[in-house]
Amino acid sequence: MNANKNPAARLPLEGRMLRSLLFAPANQAELVLKFPRAAADCSVLDLEDGTPPSQKDTARKNISDLVRQVRALGLTGLLGIRINAPDSAFFADDLAEVVNCGADAILIPKIQKPDDVLTVAAAVEAKGLHTALFAGIETAAGVLRAPQICECSTLLQAVFFGAEDLAADVGGRRTPEGNEVLMARSMVLLAAKAAGILAVDQAVVDIRNDALFTRDCETGRDLGYDGKTCLTPRQAALANQLFSPTTDEVAYAQRLVDAYEDARARGLGTFDFEGKMIDTPLLKRAQRILSSV
């Protein structure tokens, strides 16, 4: 099922974090051209939900030029483009245009099955490119097939979980606590981690509620998500902060690793460290924190 065995296909995200995935409508150039100031880890021109049907064709035709303009303004993060869903009337035209425009990543929304990813992977490979693919898992079918989707291509480097679309798909009611999507949120996260790819958490559509966004980021990070879908530059700034290790976390991790090295030199596999029994899983967590700074 794996579409590409070339490890170079993973280069666009090698050594990078994906704490913030910031979207702006592709038909609103004035918002897109503000991407460099937002400093998101990945900024996304949105041809899907952010662009109304009446403007999709024009936005698509202008997208290559908009990519060049954003880069000329000094964008330092990754630049992605979200195309329309594989079952939409716009998908084929989007893919034909976007595969040639020099984006770092192509985001594919509402993935239902591995073939939805493999179609895009084949178009990228036909051009000899290593563009990263991000898969949106936002439907009941997508959640149930998440393990197969996450493992289907080495061009696939990240998934993003869409709680709003999932709730609409299953007829659920969204709540600030998010318990109604917790199972699906966890299933997508586990599928991504098992496949060794990054996972970006759900959006918070209440864009002026920093407290809610912060709480949702903390929950996502506790689950194991790498970053957050962001709808405003303010959310991107918060996500960059909240998905980065704190000074205290880094200091604790360094002390733990140092103590582990000392314990290993004394022939100990587990040891008492600051009141906790430390073994390999806690060591790995500390090492992961240190590798991210």
Residues belonging to the binding site for Mg(2+) are 138, 165
Largest CA distance in the chain: 70
Instruction: Report the candidate in 183, 170, 106, 180 with the shortest Cα–Cα distance to residue 141.
Output: 170
Residue 59 has phi, psi (to 5 degrees) of -60, -40
User: Can you count the helices (H) and strands (E) in the chain?
Assistant: 13, 10
From first CA to last CA, the distance across the chain in angstroms is 35
Which two tokens mark 83?
């195309």
Count of beta carbons in the 10 Å neighbourhood of residue 288: 11
Binding residues for substrate: 82, 138
**Residue 25 exposure: Cα atoms within 13 Å on the Cβ side:** 12
Residue with tokens 């296909």: 9
The helix or strand, by DSSP H or E, that contains position 20, with its residue range, turns out to be strand 20-25
Residue 78 amino acid letter: L
Binding residues: 82, 138, 165
d(CA 207, CA 60): 27
133 within 8 A of 153, measured Cβ to Cβ: yes
Residue 24 amino acid letter: A
Residue 206 amino acid letter: D
Sign of the C-alpha dihedral, residues 98, 103, 109, 114? positive
Radius of gyration, CA atoms only, the chain: 20
